[in-house]
């Protein structure tokens, strides 16, 4: 009877943690309950899963999702995930290989609740900046293909920025900034300090055939001041509300920079 009661309690806890329509709602892992009611962050992932010219699979680089996801949710932040098409967000299969399996990736692979959220993302056209305190774009080559020209993503970034809310992107995620313009028609990133996956990293990773353009070159061509750290090492740049990270190793640092920016704004 005691064993049955314990199982019942576990099932009850899981049912309470996953509201109706769990994949399309906000699930919060709370270690710091003081944040849970006020801090909500939107993560925008790619829906692009294959480069047609070479037949290679792509998507979000899992470490760039998992590391910030846990850095945020472990602080009680509620994270909602959206993608252009909604539904299951593709993960770059290469990012699942042992060589790239960080502690956060391993944690995610054992976390059925987080997996459910990734399998049931909200369609990008159904989310609004007014419902969140910040937005975060993980990388992977997928975002370079379906986010730069996505009108909902473009408007969403501007809505966050104009509302004085942090806009954060890591690795190839800054590709989403390519066509974001201010009201005077200039690129949002013109004159701003940014970073992103470097040409030297793209060449070293032998992944130039996965990208439709050079991210570093695009950022520079848009008038941004591109800054670069050591290849494959954490490097984060903050310029006002705009927060960017260079590579997968920078993903957690970007999440910490978001939390710092929110604290400075008085969001707890």
**Helix H segments across 35-90?**
62-73
End-to-end CA distance of the chain: 43
Give catalytic residues, as residue numbers. Answer: 171-172, 201
CB 36 within 8 A of CB 78: yes
CB 83 within 8 A of CB 119: no
Nearest CA-CA partner of 178 in 226, 218, 136: 218
CA distance 256 to 155: 25
Tokens for 191, please give them: 């004159």
CB 156 within 8 A of CB 135: yes
Q: Specify the 3-state DSSP secondary structure of 187.
A: strand
- Report DSSP state, residue 235: -
CA distance 119 to 88: 4
Strands of 124-182, DSSP E: 134-137, 167-170
């Amino acid at each position: 009877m005691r064993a049955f009661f314990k199982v019942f309690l576990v099932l009850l806890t899981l049912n309470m943690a996953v509201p109706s329509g769990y994949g399309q709602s906000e699930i919060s892992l709370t270690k710091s309950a003081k944040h849970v009611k006020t801090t909500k962050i939107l993560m925008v992932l790619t829906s692009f899963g294959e480069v047609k010219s070479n037949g290679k699979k792509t998507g979000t680089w899992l470490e760039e999702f998992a590391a910030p996801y846990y850095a945020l949710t472990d602080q009680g932040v509620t994270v909602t995930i959206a993608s252009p098409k909604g539904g299951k967000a593709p993960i770059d299969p290469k990012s699942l290989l042992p060589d790239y399996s960080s502690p956060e990736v391993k944690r995610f692979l054992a976390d059925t609740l987080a997996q459910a959220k990734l399998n049931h993302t909200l369609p990008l056209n159904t989310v609004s900046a007014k419902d969140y305190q910040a937005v975060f774009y993980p990388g992977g080559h997928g975002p370079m293909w379906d986010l730069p020209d996505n009108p909902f993503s473009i408007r969403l970034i501007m809505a966050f920025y104009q509302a004085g809310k942090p806009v954060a992107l890591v690795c190839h995620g800054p590709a989403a900034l390519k066509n974001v313009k201010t009201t005077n028609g200039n690129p949002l990133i013109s004159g701003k300090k940014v970073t992103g996956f470097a040409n030297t990293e793209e060449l070293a990773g032998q992944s130039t055939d996965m990208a439709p353009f050079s991210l570093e070159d695009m950022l520079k061509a848009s008038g941004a001041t591109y800054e670069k750290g050591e290849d494959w090492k954490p490097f984060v740049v903050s310029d006002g509300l705009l927060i960017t990270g260079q590579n997968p190793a920078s993903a957690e640092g970007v999440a910490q920079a978001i939390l710092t920016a929110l604290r400075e704004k008085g969001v707890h």
